[in-house]
Amino acid sequence: MTEVNTVGNRIDTILTDLLARIRGVILDHRVTEDEYAAAKQYLISVGEAGEWPLLADVFLGSTVERLHSDALDVDGAIEGPFYIPGAPELTAPYVMPMREGEGGDVLVFTGSVAGKDGQPIDGAEIDMWQCDSRGTYAGIPYPDGRELPPQWNLRGRFRTDGSGDFEVRTILPVPYEIPKAGPTGALLRAAGWHPFRPAHLHARVSAPGYHQLITQLYFEGDPYIESDIVNGVKAPLICKLDKRDGPGGRAEFTTSYDFRLAAV
């Protein structure tokens, strides 16, 4: 017999409210028996495809995360499914691991890590991961069988200096599509919604005496900044991109962000 994990035992309260709201939607939109039958068949297909975690995270994960960040009063964001622990520790001057001639525009990312009181944090660790210029993460088996970047490509850990500052060279990530071959993608197509996330950098920022901050940084002007399919964008996480002439006259972008951690 299957038992339900009662985490905190609020099942009665939450289930009562959830059912009341779903029943309200059925009544408000006069859902037909055919539509109800199609919905049940769809839910079965999500289970058969093993996509319940994907579907839940696409539509609901960022809302749960919001509560977590709000409780600590920090600018966090969802971790997403592509984090891999144990990325290489970089040595200064920091350059993210990448292939010879890695595609995409160069990005010089500077910033700082401090407590919410503004106290700079010396030696804070920033564990950063991102996709390449084709929207692909290293180390992730994609269902479409695409060619993967080498292990740890565009994944690395680096630290702030004595002033709490850092600078790392990488490449500009690009918007990418969530997995769309299964029922989750089919639902988006049926609704007429695109499957894109805006370009972003992922970071886990940690230091002794502070809560680890898991967040994402986005870029002004991204075509999907207003319509992230996972609803993960928060205004304070949108960074400004500037363009300048880099070494050899190659154009490069710069951006900056100051991470703020909540004390334990």
Catalytic residues: 137, 176, 197, 200, 202
Residue the block writes with tokens 């001639």: 101
**Of the two residues 166 and 196, which places its CB atom closer to Fe ion in the complex?**
196
**Of the two residues 80 and 111, which places its CB atom closer to Fe ion in the complex?**
80
Residue the block writes with tokens 């490509």: 153
- For residue 179, the minimal CB distance to Fe ion (Å) is 12
Which alpha helices (DSSP H) does 11-107 contain, by range?
11-28, 33-48, 52-56, 62-72
Rounded Cα distance, 132 and 154, in Å: 7
Q: Do 171 and 133 contact (CB within 8 A), yes or no?
A: yes
Q: To which H or E segment does residue 197 belong? A: strand 196-197
CA-nearest of 260, 160, 262 to 211 is 262
**Of the two residues 210 and 257, which places its CB atom closer to Fe ion in the complex?**
257
**Of the two residues 207 and 255, which places its CB atom closer to Fe ion in the complex?**
255
Residue the block writes with tokens 């703020």: 260
- For residue 101, the minimal CB distance to Fe ion (Å) is 23
Give the residue closest to Fe ion by C-beta.
80
Q: Give contact residues for Fe ion (rule: CB under 5 A).
A: 80
CA distances for 243 relative to 57, 91, 102, angstroms: 34, 26, 19
CA-nearest of 221, 256, 187, 208 to 42 is 187
- For residue 78, the minimal CB distance to Fe ion (Å) is 9
- For residue 216, the minimal CB distance to Fe ion (Å) is 7
Strands laid side by side in the 165-171 sheet: 94-95, 165-171, 106-115, 251-261, 242-245
- For residue 200, the minimal CB distance to Fe ion (Å) is 6
**Of the two residues 210 and 224, which places its CB atom closer to Fe ion in the complex?**
224
